[in-house]
Structure 1
Amino acid sequence: MKSDDGTLTEAHALSKWCKLLREAAVKLGRPYIPTKELRNIMDKVGFTNIVEIRFKWPSNCWPKDKKYKDLGAWNNENTNLVLESISFAPLTRGLDWTIEEVNVLLVDVRKELNDPNIHAYWPMYAARL
């Protein structure tokens, strides 16, 4: 996750959560592919005429633009629904956390995820084939 205006910092639980998930994925032998590398990977395996499209996927309804406000609201709803399911396995199996430790972290992650004063987003990349 990122923010362009400094409202999301490394000190936030949301940033720590993302970092911990990446760390756990590496330990489990399933590292996440950085989105900025996808174009090169697609090219390497034979896709042609790739057009890379970059956009921001807001973490909640903080954007002023209606399109992105709606996108953020839906993204926030979906993320809140899967927060535990995408956190428990990596953090307990990859980093040996207890369920209780994960739950404590997720309390703060959820608060920040839902805070419209934190202008966080996931950088998204799409390819037109």
Structure 2
Amino acid sequence: MNKDKSFKIALIIAIILLIILIYFSYIDKTKAIKNPYYAVYLKTGDMYFGTISRFPKFVLSGVWFLQGSTNELGDYNLHKFQDAIFGPIDKIEINRDNIIWISKLRDDSEIMGIIQQD
């Protein structure tokens, strides 16, 4: 009797965990389809934009960054990270301790407009 009862409890727990896993994997995919871009602001004052992966390391892909111009207005320009002079790949691993804040970009933001044009 105890074996049957233990088996039934284990089976119920496994089914519940499977349902939770399917639910969360579906939710993540539906969120990522619409607009997966985030702004990441670092302690250095640098701001990067891209898609994020949080596990096992914090990784930013499809990376863009803001660069200040030298004109009097203090304008900023948006550049692809992979187009930098040192020829990096389009991915950055960021130390979590260096992140001040992270924010999801709105679909109608100016930054998203530039990224989507590319």
**Could you tell me the TM-score, scaled by structure 1's length?**
0.22
Task: Name the structure with the higher strand share.
Answer: 2
Q: Larger Cα Rg: Structure 1 or Structure 2?
A: 2
**Could you tell me the TM-score, scaled by structure 2's length?**
0.23
Task: Name the structure with the higher helix share.
Answer: 1
State the structure with bigger RCO (CA 8 A, min sep 6), 1 or 2.
1
